[in-house]
């Protein structure tokens, strides 16, 4: 079977056997998980700094940053939820026989 395989595939298998055990041992070690945690923290700090810098730059030109858009979306969601609640309350009140609008003549 091995003789029927292409030469490049045989080389790949040899390389995998030579390197694979060392790589597997490393990714199961405590050092790997420590390095992974540090890399994740560094990536998060870099992202925060980049977002802060871009936000400041956009605000300098009086343009909305992603944080501004996110805040507006949250605010709009709250308004939509409130409107849905008020609509439901009005529908419930109408079903119960109560007038939906107070009569101005009374």
pLDDT value of position 45:
98
More confident residue, 40 or 95: 40
Question: Domain coordinates of the chain in residue numbers?
Answer: 64-94
pLDDT value of position 105:
53
Q: Note whether 26 and 32 are within 8 A (CB).
A: yes
CA–CA gap between residue 1 and residue 17 (Å, rounded): 18
CA–CA gap between residue 72 and residue 59 (Å, rounded): 15
| Model confidence pTM above 0.75 | no
Kind and range of the H or E run holding 105: none
Residue 1 has pLDDT above 80, yes or no: no
Query: Which of 7-11, 12-16, 34-38, 101-105 is predicted most confidently?
Result: 34-38
């Amino acid at each position: 079977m091995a003789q029927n395989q292409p030469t490049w595939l045989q080389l790949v298998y040899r390389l995998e056997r030579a390197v694979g055990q060392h790589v597997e041992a490393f990714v199961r070690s405590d050092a790997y998980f420590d390095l992974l945690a540090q890399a994740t923290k560094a990536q998060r700090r870099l992202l925060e700094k980049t977002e802060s810098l871009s936000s400041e730059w956009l605000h300098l030109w009086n343009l909305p940053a992603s944080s501004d858009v996110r805040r507006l979306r949250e605010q709009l969601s709250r308004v939509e939820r409130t409107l849905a609640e008020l609509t439901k309350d009005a529908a419930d009140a109408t079903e119960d026989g109560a007038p939906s609008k107070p009569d101005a003549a009374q």
